Amino acid sequence: MERTPLVAGNWKMFKTRGEAAEFCSALIALVDDLDEIDLALCPPFTALDLVAERIGDSGVGVWGQNVHDATEGAFTGEISCRMLIDAGATGVLLGHSERRALFGETDEALARKLTASLAHGLEPVLCIGESEAERDGGATESRLATQLQGALTGLTGSQVLQVTLAYEPVWAIGTGRSATPEIAQETHAFIRGAIAKSHGEECAAAIRILYGGSVKPDNAASLLAQPDVDGALVGGASLDAQGFAAIARAAIAGS
């Protein structure tokens, strides 16, 4: 089954509103001809509305970097699905490795966030991945299976089809180290096989699985050419419009 490539840029805790505006102006000129690919940006909450206003009409998705599962309430510092949508967001990033490691997010909490996001019509992007110790100890597959089961159990096949998965090996994030194309393909194939077992072959064939782990313009082409790699979740390289556009073009070339 043909899957449209998707390249998403996660800005993390970078860019003021002014810097976000400059980025959007630069990016629009670079990607206005990229009809064969889906693009998305994950700005900080303070710039969500601005990015949505500047770039939303061009078809680029605008995602929150996190969300709370409650509709509203006494949750200081949190943001709801309704608030994301009100700010112009079309999707939301869930379970990034930094959220899991630094802020204690559990698979159970992510299951609630995933259900809430789907109920509100946001496109959820679920991040999964293993640590260096788990990779070296041969526990990659069991770790990924646990994360998938914890977040997706209880969802129907049609609901899972609305989810994008992002495989991000923790040992390759912010370290300058990246999985080889062969490792990326092997792991993505395992993830697709796990989805086939839990939600059926049709769902597994259709779901998009992104690779995220030190993706840069110089390694994107080989990573994104793999048959089960459907795009990229880009961190640091997405802060530069030229670099982000180069990765997007590499995804098209590899599809």
Residues 174 and 183: their CA atoms lie apart, in Å, by 18
DSSP state of 139: -
Strands 164-167 and 91-94: unpaired
Please provide the DSSP assignment of 57-81 as one string: GGT-EEEES---SSSSSS-TT---H
Q: Dmax of the chain from CA atoms?
A: 48
Q: What is d(CA 191, CA 11) in angstroms, rounded to the nearest whole number?
A: 26
**68, 105, 168, 188: which one is catalytic?**
168
Residue (of 85, 89, 105) closest to 97 by Cα position: 105
Of the candidates 101, 130, 125, the one whose C-alpha atom is nearest the C-alpha of residue 113 is 125
Cα–Cα dist 122/37, whole Å:
19
Which pairing describes strands 164-167 and 123-128: parallel, antiparallel, or unpaired? parallel
| Alpha helices by DSSP H, 5-139 | 17-31, 48-55, 81-86, 97-103, 107-119, 132-136
**What SS3 string covers 158-187?**
HHHCCCEEEECCHHHCCCCCCCCHHHHHHH
96 is catalytic: yes
Q: Is 98 a catalytic residue?
A: no
Catalytic residue selected from 96, 98, 134, 199? 96
Residues designated as active site: 96, 168
